[in-house]
């Protein structure tokens, strides 16, 4: 009798432990469930002030806002290499050239179709503007221009700015600006004849489309009106 009793107990123990529900029935909150534990009755706790997600520390204020103590910074937060410029060129052509054009004169295709004309990058004001200002414009938008923060990573914003600087320099570059050790390469380069000076074509003023009717009489009627506002 004693033996069979302990055997029964043993079997019961095995059976019960075989289907333990503890892990399923543990005390826990389902999403958005009320909780009496906290004063606001929310079981989902808000982040503590100052919480930083992994990979988002962003302690370098200048690199992520373009400003330090409210002042636009004047230097790039990392060295500008050829790779950075190539990346910047690619991103610029994707995200900025539709309005600012590939040369930065502001005659992009969307502008030719009626969008507000951005200022040319080749004005003294923007040539002298600190790089931090460009970062701020891309990050927060500027007037009619929207923010590109959601589409262009901070690293790429700086790459774009480096390329904008290259565009600005190239407008006024002279053969003498080529470093001494590259002068020989320049002299050996095939002569492509006189370069068309974009300044002389008046591409900084007007949209280019405006000039078409007089150049090709009769076909002008089919051109969209560049003055048309799309807003």
Q: Based on CB atoms, which residue is closest to ligand HEC, 84 or 137?
A: 137
Which CB, 62 or 101, lies closer to ligand HEC? 101
In this complex, which beta carbon is closest to ligand HEC, that of residue 62 or of residue 164? 164
CB distance 56 to 66 below 8 Å: no
Q: Quote the CA–CA distance of 49 and 11 in Å, as a whole number.
A: 54
Q: Which residues pair with 67 in a beta bridge?
A: 72
- CB < 8 Å & 24+ apart, contacts of 119-126: 120/204, 121/164, 121/167, 121/168, 122/167, 122/168, 122/171, 122/204, 126/168
CB of 173 to ligand HEC, least distance (A): 20
Measured in whole angstroms, the distance separating CA 2 from the mean position of its chain's CA atoms is: 80
Judged by CB, which is closer to ligand HEC: 145, or 166? 145
- Distance separating alpha carbons of residues 146 and 186, to the nearest angstrom: 41
Q: Report the residue number whose CB is nearest to ligand HEC.
A: 143
Minimum CB separation of residue 151 from ligand HEC in Å reads: 8
Binding site for ligand HEC (CB under 6 A): 95-96, 98-100, 110, 115-116, 118-119, 134, 137-138, 142-145, 148, 152, 160
Least gap, CB of 82 to ligand HEC (angstroms): 20
Contact of 134 with 218, CB cutoff 8 Å: no
Shortest Å, Cβ 130 to ligand HEC? 11
- Cβ closest to ligand HEC, residue 76 vs residue 134: 134
List Cα–Cα distances, 94 to 42, 166, 179, in angstroms: 44, 17, 30
In the complex, the smallest distance separating the C-beta of residue 39 from ligand HEC, rounded to whole angstroms, is 45
184: which 2 tokens?
A: 């020989």
């Amino acid at each position: 009798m004693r033996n069979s009793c302990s055997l029964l107990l043993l079997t019961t123990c095995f059976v019960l432990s075989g289907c333990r529900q503890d892990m399923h029935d543990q005390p826990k909150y389902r999403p958005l469930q009320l909780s009496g534990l906290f004063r606001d009755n929310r079981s989902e706790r808000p982040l503590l002030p100052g919480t930083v997600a992994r990979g988002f520390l962003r302690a370098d204020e200048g690199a992520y806002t373009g400003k330090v103590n409210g002042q636009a910074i004047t230097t790039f937060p990392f060295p500008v290499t050829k790779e950075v410029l190539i990346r910047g060129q690619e991103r610029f052509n994707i995200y900025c050239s539709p309005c600012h054009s590939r040369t930065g004169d502001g005659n992009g295709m969307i502008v030719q179709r009626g969008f507000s004309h951005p200022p040319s990058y080749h004005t003294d004001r923007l040539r002298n503007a600190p790089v931090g200002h460009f970062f701020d414009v891309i990050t927060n938008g500027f007037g009619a221009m929207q923010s590109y923060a959601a589409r262009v990573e901070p690293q790429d914003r700086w790459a774009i700015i480096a390329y904008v600087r290259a565009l600005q320099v190239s407008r006024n570059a002279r053969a003498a600006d080529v470093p001494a050790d590259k002068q020989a390469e320049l002299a050996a380069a095939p002569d492509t004849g006189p370069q068309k000076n974009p300044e002389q074509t008046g591409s900084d003023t007007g949209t280019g489309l405006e000039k078409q009717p007089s150049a090709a009489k009769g076909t002008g009627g089919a051109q969209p009106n560049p003055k048309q506002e799309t807003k």
